[in-house]
Structure 1
Amino acid sequence: MSGPDYTALIDAETWAYIARLDATYPPDAVQMSIAEQRAAYDDMCRVFRVPRPVGVTVVDLPFGGVPCRHYTSGSSDITVIYYHGGGFVVGGLESHDDICAELCDRTGFDVISVDYALAPEAVFPRCFNDAWAAFEAIAQERSGDILLCGDSAGGNLAAAVAHHARGRVDGRIIGQVLIYPGLGGDQSKGSYVTHANAPQLTMADLEFYKTVRTGGADLPENDPRLAPLHDNDFRGLPPTVVVSAECDPLASDGETYRDAVLGAGGKAVWFNEPGMVHACLRARNMSARAAVFFDRVVEGVAALGRRDWPY
């Protein structure tokens, strides 16, 4: 069976972005050592990084013993907790600094980026434990509403925190925005098959990241801290916006998660942006389609923060 024609699905602007990214962080990066991967990823992030918007101020401080970066553009009582992507292996406060700053600027909400520990030094459940510890401390120290947000691995953590918070920290989370998240869907169908060899993320990459995250151990299949889609109860979750990339093996997780939340009586919407690839947030200044993708994210955060549901 032949795969999708990516030359037709992906436009010229996005191909230019892919070429620029691959020049620093090559498609076979998972074959590098962990140290080499992190160095290359950090270099790539610097290539695409843009200055923070004027008026956004930043302070680094820990929450729950976890290093964090707090962005503010005023005196909002709404806090967006952001978990960065990177397969649980790469990334940190610097890699997503401009994304968090723009999210703060465009919504007016405070944003706190969480620098959770990475694998292989910290295997599961350490990444989740850090994500939860930071969330708990932020919920205790800051009044007002909380939104959860994250991309890729960070989308997994945001959803895992939302699931875990039920019955523990009730009433504080008013929404979650998940950006091309990996949620533990069925890898035998959907985008996992159709887009198994997509540009920017492949099934082989996903297998590498899973092995590093778990330390190669066999883990329970019903633990939503690892894979939110493996939960057996989707009731009581906050209103959810999922924004996926069409040309991404993880795209179907967004659809499956939306359906699970809706099936449990919750509010959820899924956007599968055409022609987009995994990690396309960085393309927002090079690609009109990627700019629309980021608009979806910003609009989702803004609407949920207003306790609005325009979907």
Structure 2
Amino acid sequence: MTDPAYPQIDAATWAFIRRTDSYYPPDAVDLSVAEQRAVYDRMCAAFRAPRPAGLDCRDDTVAGVPCRLYTPEAPGPVTIVYFHGGGFVVGGLDSHDDVCAEIAASTRSRVISADYRLVPEHLHPAAFEDARAVAASVQGPLLLAGDSAGGSLAASVAHALRGQADLRGLLLIYPGLGGNRDQGSYLTHANAPMLSRADVVWYAQARHGGREPATPDPTANVLDDTDFTGLPPVVVASAECDPLADDGRDYARHITAAGGRAEWLLDEGLVHGWLRARHSVPRARAAFDRLLDRLLPLTGQG
């Protein structure tokens, strides 16, 4: 299967897309929430890689939030708090276990994966409150990271904790940050494989119980903020074939315009959710390795 609208997607990535669709169909948002979670968990389990050796991994509660802690031998000074993707509806400690383990091993840093509350049982700002509580509880230097919905949480928490925590960096992987859905990549890639504009709208509405509020709220959409100063160095990676691509670009531009440090990486030919392809798609492997390289100096290990 190929799509003439996406000649930049290579054969290996199409194979990844087909395999993903076999577990988690493109119309998954039409399933019940319980069904969505079941198929998402099966998909993540199918792609899950073994943890690297030499990690101490244990589940614990941090600031009242269930978490999984990954500690390498002789960890560096910076703790990474990671927020998983899943549209605020699906995902958890197991869905991103291998990603967090590989980040911990590669950066030689302690990683805390937060199992924040999900919708529809817990509407916004529940996930944000959990994410902020975990991050605020960390003693010492801190780096926030996340993919997709988790990238949104990481950015919003970084804005909320400015001046209150020793923030050393921010890593956002194909994040949704609340950009204008009637222009740019939201239209160009409205029907992209893996995530469509309609999916983005569905998840955003679900986060608020069916209707998004009209009032700007940086705790939900960080691009609603009017102050982009006082932030740590930011690395934001967007997949080219993703309606969310412009969110990362625009966020980086706001930060640099405010005098901060931000790098926007556009991963050409990649799609939303490519993290699960890092062991099967060369482009995804290269994108992941590039992010690990960017993390090393931010964690004091580079």
TM-score of the alignment, normalized to the shorter chain, above 0.5? yes
* Equivalent position to 1:190, from 175, 184, 190: 184
Q: Is the 8 A contact 2:26 2:194 kept in 1?
A: yes
Tell me the residue number matched to 1:267: 261
Q: Which moved more, 1:72-81 or 1:193-202?
A: 72-81
Q: Is the 8 A contact 2:37 2:91 kept in 1?
A: yes
> Any stretches of 5+ residues in structure 2 without a counterpart?
none
Q: For the residues of structure 1 that align with 2:240 and 2:212, how far apart are their CA atoms?
A: 30
Tell me the residue number matched to 2:42: 43
Q: What is the CA-CA distance between 1:192 and the residue it aligns to?
A: 0.6
Tell me the residue number matched to 1:111: 111
Q: Which moved more, 1:299-308 or 1:7-16?
A: 299-308
2:195 equivalent to 1:201 = yes
Q: For the residues of structure 2 that align with 1:6 and 1:295, how far apart are their CA atoms?
A: 28
* Equivalent position to 1:150, from 141, 146, 151: 146
Q: For the residues of structure 2 that align with 1:218 and 1:206, how far apart are their CA atoms?
A: 12
Q: For the residues of structure 2 that align with 1:261 and 1:307, how far apart are their CA atoms?
A: 24
Amino acid at match of 1:210: A
Summarize the Cα distance change of 1:51–1:11 in structure 2 as closer, same or farther, 3 Å threshold. same
Where do 1:87-236 residues align within 5 Å? Answer: 87-137=87-137, 139=138, 142=139, 144-167=140-163, 169-170=164-165, 172-236=166-230
Where do 1:22-101 residues align within 5 Å? Answer: 22-76=21-75, 77-101=77-101
2:250 equivalent to 1:251 = no
Q: For the residues of structure 1 that align with 2:180 and 2:252, how far apart are their CA atoms?
A: 14
Amino acid at match of 1:54: A
Q: For the residues of structure 2 that align with 1:188 and 1:307, how far apart are their CA atoms?
A: 41
Please identify runs of 4+ aligned residues in structure 1 that moved more than 6 A. Answer: none
Q: For the residues of structure 2 that align with 1:122 and 1:42, how far apart are their CA atoms?
A: 19
Amino acid at match of 1:297: L
Tell me the residue number matched to 2:7: 8
Q: What is the CA-CA distance between 1:74 and the residue it aligns to?
A: 1.6
2:298 equivalent to 1:287 = no
Q: What is the CA-CA distance between 1:9 and the residue it aligns to?
A: 1.1
TM-score (norm 2): 0.96
Q: What is the CA-CA distance between 1:296 and the residue it aligns to?
A: 2.1
Q: Is the 8 A contact 1:237 1:266 kept in 2?
A: yes
Q: Is the 8 A contact 2:132 2:157 kept in 1?
A: yes
- Indicate the percent of aligned positions where both proteins have the same amino acid: 52
Alignment RMSD: 1.3
Q: Is the 8 A contact 1:147 1:301 kept in 2?
A: no
For the residue of structure 2 that corresponds to 1:235, the secondary structure is coil
Q: Deviations over 1:90-148 (max 9, x none)?
A: 000000000000001111011100000000000001110111111112x2xx3x31100
Q: For the residues of structure 2 that align with 1:253 and 1:285, how far apart are their CA atoms?
A: 26
For the residue of structure 2 that corresponds to 1:39, the secondary structure is helix
Amino acid at match of 2:38: A
Q: For the residues of structure 2 that align with 1:26 and 1:303, how far apart are their CA atoms?
A: 38
Q: Deviations over 1:21-61 (max 9, x none)?
A: 11011111000000000000000001000110011120111
For the residue of structure 1 that corresponds to 2:23, the secondary structure is coil
Q: Is the 8 A contact 1:174 1:307 kept in 2?
A: no
Q: For the residues of structure 1 that align with 2:291 and 2:180, how far apart are their CA atoms?
A: 25
